[in-house]
Homo-oligomer: A and B are copies of this chain.
Amino acid sequence: MIENMPHRSTSHEVLAVVFQVRRLDTRTPRLSVLLWERAMAPQRGSWSLPGGQLRDDEDMTSSVRRQLAEKVDLREVAHLEQLAVFSQPDRVPDSVFGGRAIASTFLGLVPAPATPALPSDTRWHPVDALPPMAFDHETMVANAHTRLNAKLSYTNIGFALAPQEFALSTLRDVYGAALGYQVDATNLQRVLVRRGVITPTGTTAKSGPGGGRPAAMYRFIESRYRVTDEFAALRPPG
């Protein structure tokens, strides 16, 4: 492959860090990210973020949507936002795109319940146990995770991870999985109700086997991203 030619071309790729809170086994759910396994060199066998080259006539948001549609049902992506740009000239070898490639990353969120069929090379991986990853994609995942955690504090972004209707214990698990520490359902309720983010639906869930009081169901008041309280904070315990 030719490297360091004076006028190598510059292309632009778009990559999506798509998160969902998923329960793998019977244990508590984990924050997971959508990855596909590279079948060809370079870095064959390592895992990549979904994405691809930006076309000359599309903007980046359209491009991410187009490329994601090959991996998941787009109607399930409840939130999508720009993250950062990665522009080291050698971040991917020239052989991949026939030159140097700038990457723009996006954060995508998929609500908890459903996930449809995935292509055979594509899988969800818990972010706390990532497989070997291609190029600088691991950094991108960390970056996205940080952004998500920050926004859980001061926006209503949880709507894009939680089911349409949910018990508070479910919401607690969703927040807990994303933030990486145990969240108190009691306080979570008070905080989010006070801020006008969630509201009771009036219905209640059934008790599970072994009894227990039936849980009141809640829903997010808006299902569009909004900054709810610029200065709000969800602090870790301790």
In which size bucket is the chain A interface? 20 to 34
Complex Cα spacing A233 to B233, Å: 9
One of B85, B150, B231 near A153 (C-beta < 8 A): B231
Instruction: Determine the chain B residues whose CB is within 8 A of the CB of A57 once the complex forms.
Output: 4, 8, 89, 100
Complex Cα spacing A8 to B56, Å: 7
Smallest CB separation, A149 vs chain B (Å): 9
Residue of B nearest to A233 (CB): B231
Smallest CB separation, A9 vs chain B (Å): 7
- Determine if A87 is an interface residue (Cβ-Cβ < 8 Å): yes
Interface residues of A in 124-142 (CB under 8 A from B): none
Q: C-beta contact mask, A47-78 vs B, less than 8 Å → 1, else 0?
A: 00000001011111100000000000000000
Residue of B nearest to A102 (CB): B12
Instruction: Determine the chain B residues whose CB is within 8 A of the CB of A60 once the complex forms.
Output: 85, 87, 102
Instruction: Determine the chain B residues whose CB is within 8 A of the CB of A100 once the complex forms.
Output: 56-57
The residues of A with any CB-CB pair to B shorter than 8 Å are 4, 7-10, 12, 54, 56-61, 82, 84-85, 87-89, 99-100, 102, 104, 150, 153, 230-231, 233, 235
Between-chain CB contacts (< 8 Å), 10 pairs: A8-B56, A8-B57, A12-B102, A54-B87, A54-B102, A59-B87, A59-B89, A60-B87, A60-B102, A82-B85
